[in-house]
Every structure is written in C-alpha cells, then in structure tokens.
Amino acid sequence: MTMLASYLTLAAVLFCVGLYGVLTKRNAIVVLLCIELMLNAVNLNLIAFSKYGVTPSLTGQIFSLFTMTVAAAEAAVGMAVLIVWYRNRATVNVDEFDELRG
C-alpha cells in the first residue's frame, strides 16, 4: 500500500502543479502544457490503481493509452487554435481572450 500512496502523492503533486499553471500562467502555450501535466497526473493515477488497486486489472493501463491519444489530438487542435488566434491578434496571452465577456 505504501507504493500506491507514493504514486498517488506524486500524481497529486503533479496535478496541483498543473492546476496552478493553468490558473496563473498568461501564456496560452504554457497553459496547454500545464493541462498536459494535469492529464498525465490522471494517467499516473490510472496506472497506479491498475497495478496496486483493490482489484488490479489492465483496464486502467488501456484507458491511459486512450487518454494519451486523445490528449495528443487535443494538443494538436489547441495549438492550431492558438496559431490562428496569434495570426489574428498577435498575442497568445490568455487574459486577453475575453470575447465572451458578459
């Protein structure tokens, strides 16, 4: 159980670092990177539970593979959006993304 705890602690630390970056960084690319960090923290949890969980199974590992795939696609789309945005506005600062302000 100590192994699981240390994995989970690492994942939690990673998640919090990612969350901190998402909430505070102004550069959209860094924000995207931080989102990846949070996703990876989740992957780490999935894998840790699939190995050391109460009922160990491969489902968690397969799920994390899916997540990586989707995350890659998401990163690609996110980068594409950012490039288009940069062409139009010449900035990638998230705090200037306020088109939906009420």
Partner 1 sequence: MSTSFAEYAWLVPVFPLAAFAILTAMGKGARKTGPWIGIIGTLASLVLSLCIAFERMTDNADDYSKSIEWLQVGSLKLSAGFEVTNLTSLMLVVVTLVSFLVNVYSQGYMRDDDRISTFFAYVALFTSSMLGLVLSDNLLTFYIFWELVGVCSFLLVGFWYHKPEAKAAAKKAFIVTRIGDLGLLIALLLLFWYMPDHALDFTTIHNVFSTPGGVISVGITTLIALLIFVGAVGKSGQFPLHTWLPDAMEGPTPISALIHAATMVAAGVFLVARTFPIFEASDAAMTTVAVIGAFTAIFAASIGLAQNDIKRILAYSTVSQLGYMMLALGVGSVSAAMFHLFTHAFFKALLFLGAGSVIHGAHTQDIREMGGLGKTMKITAWTFGIGALALSGIPPFAGFWSKDAILAAALDKNGILFAVGAIAAFFTALYMARLYFLVFAGKPKQDGHAHESPSVMTVPLIVLAILSVVAGFVDTPFKGWLGEWLTGEAPEHHGSGIVMVVSVAVGLLGIYIGWLVYVKGTVRRDAVSSRAPALVRTLERKYYIDELYDLLIVKPLRSFGKALQAFDDYIVDGVVRLAGYSTSALGRLNSRLQSGQVQTYALTALIGIVILALAIAGRRFW
Binding stretches for partner 1 (CB under 8 A)? 19, 22-24, 31, 94-95, 97-102
For partner 1, the closer CB: 69 or 96: 96
Burial 30-67 (b: 16+ CB within 10 A, else e): ebbebbbbbbbbbbbbbbbbbeeeeeeeeebeebbeeb
Question: Secondary structure of the chain: what % helix, strand, coil (to 5)?
Answer: 80, 0, 20
Task: Output the smallest distance, CB 32 to partner 1, in A.
Answer: 12
Minimum distance of partner 1 from residue 22's CB (angstroms): 6
Q: Which is nearer to partner 1, 38 or 71 (CB)?
A: 38
Shorter beta-carbon distance to partner 1: residue 62 or 84: 84
CB of 94 to partner 1, least distance (A): 6
Q: Which is nearer to partner 1, 18 or 60 (CB)?
A: 18
Q: How far is the CB of 58 from partner 1 (least distance, A)?
A: 30
The helix/strand count (H/E) of the chain reads as: 3, 0
Residue 70 to residues 36, 59, 63, Cα–Cα distance (Å): 11, 16, 11
